[in-house]
Amino acid sequence: MKLLIDARTLQDRFPGIGRYTYNLIDALAPQLEGELLVITPHASRPTPYDLNHLARHPNLTLIPTDIPVFNWRAQAALPRLIRSLQPDLVHFPYNVRPFWLGLPSVLTLYDVIPRRFPGYYPRRSRLQIEIIQRLAIRSSHAFVAISQAAAEDFRQKYGIPAGRIAVTPLAADPIFRPQPVEIVADLRRRLALPQRYVLYLGSNKPHKNLPRLIEAWARSEQSTVNSQQSTVNNQRAGGRGQGATLIIAGAWDERYPEAKRLVEQQNLAGTVRFLGPVANADLPALYAGAALFVFPSLYEGFGLPVLEAMACGAAVACSHTSSLPEVAGDAALFFDPEDAAALAAALTRLLADSDLRADLARRGSEQAGRFSWERTAKATLPVYRKLLG
């Protein structure tokens, strides 16, 4: 088999898709009986990924290109490049792909957020996304979905037969594992983190549900005060209520300011902190130092931060929607993400119950161990073989 993967998404602009693409390639190469060609961004474009690490595989060839991802000229330039390499099969990990290629191709399916939440997108953007998605599906011969929930969504929303979609779950990067105490302490010092914090890591896009998380945080603090759990010791720990700070980390899109506005309106600035983007190398310690990790998303194609937090030994509370029960198994405290009172109750319960946190952390570590990129690659290979066969 001569397989080609379009990895032009190995850029900062595609954090989730880039991570999936990089790890899939790295795990596929040792299992592939044949040649693996990988189209990457040109060296002049910065990438957060170690391409030399990929190049160590003897059957893998990196092919840098300056063909952009978002440009209609790529519809002519990229097929010319691909055909010149004469692959048997092409895998596109992103739906912005050549729509007229003339070669067997596989497409990765992530989520149907624009279809599920159309109000989150301007009409023109929604139309563009829909056209690209439909063209990508029509141009592809087989599909891999990152969760069973995502596969079912694409079956329902786009009519893809279930038999043409293989489910290939993701995994946490190997860097995500429990961290030494001194590493966590160093990060706490460098980022001025409080001794006790609840962590959310992700974007602030509307489906991430951050305004409701802020509302729940305010309720959980009030609940703690009302139940007389706000002790002198808690106050000395530097927080209100449960003595914890809510840390919201990740890239911030100024188009969605609601969460920050709520913090001001609710006078929560003393117990809510917006950390912004955090370097990849610091993420394991950030997870490991948290009293618990909370993920209130309304919808996820997979929900990788949940698995990353578990792999680092954090107790997790997350939504019971979409793919998240698949990912978390029995290792999380679930709540209804549309019910602020339920979310607040989950936060209050976990912060007050150290035995429950320890139990969830133990089960979370076991759950994270059930996923690996080697298994993702192993589940992807039969899709290629079936298409060629």
DSSP alpha helix (H) spans, the chain? 15-28, 51-55, 74-85, 113-116, 123-139, 148-158, 181-190, 210-226, 232-236, 258-265, 283-288, 304-311, 324-328, 340-352, 354-368, 373-388
Q: How many CB atoms lie within 10 A of CB 225?
A: 13
List, in order of start, the domains of the chain with CATH numbers.
Answer: 2-171+372-388 (3.40.50.2000), 181-368 (3.40.50.2000)
For 369, residues 6+ apart whose C-beta sits below 8 A from its C-beta are 311
SS (H, E, C) 355-380: HHHHHHHHHHHHHHCCCCHHHHHHHH
| pLDDT in the model for residue 72 | 86
| pLDDT in the model for residue 234 | 42
Distance CA(307)–CA(145), nearest Å, equals 17
Q: Are the CB atoms for 273 and 243 separated by under 8 Å? A: no
pTM: 0.91
Four-point Cα dihedral 201, 205, 209, 212, nearest 10: 100
The secondary structure of 99-149 as a DSSP string is: S---S-EEEEE---HHHH-GGGS-HHHHHHHHHHHHHHHHH-SEEEESSHH
Strand order across the 89-92 sheet: 60-65, 35-41, 2-6, 89-92, 105-109, 142-145, 165-167
Q: Are the CB atoms for 324 and 301 separated by under 8 Å? A: no
| pLDDT, one tens digit for every residue, the chain (389 residues) | 999 999 999 998 888 899 999 999 999 999 999 999 999 998 877 888 999 999 999 999 999 999 999 988 899 999 999 999 999 999 999 999 999 999 999 999 999 999 999 999 999 999 999 999 999 999 999 999 999 999 999 999 999 999 999 999 999 999 999 999 999 999 999 999 999 999 999 999 999 999 999 999 999 875 554 443 444 444 443 334 458 999 999 989 999 999 999 999 999 999 999 999 999 899 999 999 999 999 999 999 999 999 999 999 999 999 999 999 999 999 999 999 999 999 999 999 999 999 999 999 999 999 999 999 999 999 999 999 999 98
